[in-house]
């Protein structure tokens, strides 16, 4: 898309933030990526919104809305700032440190502050970003092919940043390294799943999921079309086309959960991996900043 079109979108977004009409108070608004480098035809528009924690009452109301509509705060802000179908990668964070700086591929020098609650004159800052015919796109830093994890660019970048900054811990496993003899209990479970309740692709992944649980001495409580929970409620497996956002969602709401394993359908030519997430050393700090502590 031509640069001028993205400039129009940035103008609209800055005006919306300046109006104070968004559901959450915005503290800062940044642009980065190919547009900030001056590319004449950026692939998309990369922006960051830093918001102020609106308090427990707001989060409780949002949780009730989430249960009904699966509507996180990122979606609420995206609806307020973006139009459907726009190529805008909107990152929403409580502080800038969660997406830039040490451990991240995005550095502070790469982001441009357009608007803040202490400096609302965004037009000169936007005009100062000059076109550069030599600027292009950088390779994206994704945890895994985005189409196989039921997420958008915003969620992918958020989780990638959380891993890089120690909020989440990610362990990648080759399916061949988790081969383990199943117990009679899990063999029986596997046999009963051949009755058509689970699709063929998920059925091909299921033995690997059960073998991974065996390595942690866990016993599966139940099996549905896409997920497994253990009797202890400490381990969860999402198979097939797992939603990356669910890692954050379940860690927030299930204190006993220790490991959440995503196993996308195996694909010829790969990559084929088990993505095992745990809470990182900075999880509690991030949770406090996000306003979701119990």
Is residue 149 assigned to a domain? no
The region of weakest confidence among 35-44, 136-145, 235-244, 273-282 is 136-145
Identify whether the C-beta of residue 195 lies closer than 8 Å to the C-beta of residue 206. Answer: no
**11 found inside a domain:** yes
State the Cα–Cα distance between residues 123 and 105, nearest whole angstrom.
Answer: 28
- Specify if 283 maps to a domain: yes
DSSP 268: T
Tell me how far the alpha carbon of residue 63 is from its chain's centroid.
18
Q: Is 288 helix (H, G, I), strand (E, B) or coil?
A: helix
Global pTM exceeds 0.75: no
Q: Are 236 and 260 in contact (CB under 8 A)?
A: yes
Q: Does residue 153 fall inside a structural domain?
A: no
With beta carbons less than 8 A apart as the criterion, state whether 229 and 241 touch: no
**163, part of any domain:** no
* Average pLDDT for 35-40: 92
Q: How confident is the model at residue 293 (pLDDT cuts 50, 70, 90)?
A: very low
Give the number of other CB atoms < 10 A from CB of residue 187. 13
Residues 29 and 43: their CA atoms lie apart, in Å, by 20
Q: Residue 106 belongs to what domain range? A: 3-139
The per-residue pLDDT for range 203-215, each reduced to its tens digit, is 788 889 999 999 9
Q: What is the C-alpha separation between 71 and 153, in angstroms, rounded?
A: 16
> Sign of the C-alpha dihedral, residues 90, 84, 77, 149?
negative
Q: Residue 178 pLDDT > 70, yes or no?
A: yes
pLDDT of 294 higher than 50 = no
Mean of all residue pLDDT scores within the chain: 84
Tell me, yes or no, whether 187 lies in a domain.
yes
| Per-residue pLDDT reduced to its tens digit, 264-282 | 988 887 789 999 999 999 9
Do 135 and 14 lie in one domain? The reply is yes
Separation of alpha carbons 135 and 149, rounded Å: 30
Are residue 22 and residue 132 in the same domain, yes or no? yes
DSSP summary character for residue 5: H
Within-domain flag for 152: no
CA 238 – CA 227 distance, rounded (Å): 4
What digits encode the pLDDT tens for the residues 150-167? 877 778 888 888 898 899
């Amino acid at each position: 898309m031509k640069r001028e079109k993205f400039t129009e979108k940035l103008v609209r977004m800055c005006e919306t933030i300046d109006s104070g009409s968004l559901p959450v108070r915005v503290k800062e608004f940044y642009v980065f990526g190919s547009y900030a480098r001056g590319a004449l035809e950026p692939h998309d528009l990369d922006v960051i919104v830093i918001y102020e924690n609106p308090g427990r009452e707001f989060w409780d109301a949002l949780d009730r809305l989430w249960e009904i509509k699966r509507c996180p705060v990122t979606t609420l802000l995206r609806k307020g700032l973006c139009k459907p179908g726009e190529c805008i990668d909107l990152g929403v964070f409580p502080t800038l440190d969660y997406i830039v700086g040490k451990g991240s591929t995005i550095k502070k020098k790469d982001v441009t502050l357009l608007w803040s609650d202490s400096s609302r004159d965004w037009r000169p800052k936007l005009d100062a970003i000059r076109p550069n015919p030599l600027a292009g796109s950088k390779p994206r830093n994704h945890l895994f092919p985005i189409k196989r994890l039921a997420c958008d660019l915003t969620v992918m970048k958020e989780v990638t940043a959380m891993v890089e900054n120690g909020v989440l811990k990610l362990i990648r496993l080759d399916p061949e390294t988790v081969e383990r003899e199943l117990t009679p209990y899990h063999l029986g479970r596997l046999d009963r799943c051949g009755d058509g309740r689970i699709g063929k692709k998920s059925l091909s992944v299921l033995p690997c999921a059960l073998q991974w649980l065996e390595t942690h001495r866990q016993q599966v409580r139940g099996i549905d079309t896409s997920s497994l929970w253990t009797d202890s409620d400490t381990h969860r497996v999402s198979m097939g086309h797992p939603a990356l956002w669910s890692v954050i969602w379940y860690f927030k709401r299930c204190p006993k959960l220790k490991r959440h394993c995503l196993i996308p359908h195996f694909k010829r030519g790969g990559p084929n991996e088990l993505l095992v997430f745990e809470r990182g050393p900075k999880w509690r700090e991030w949770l406090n900043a996000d306003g979701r502590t119990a």
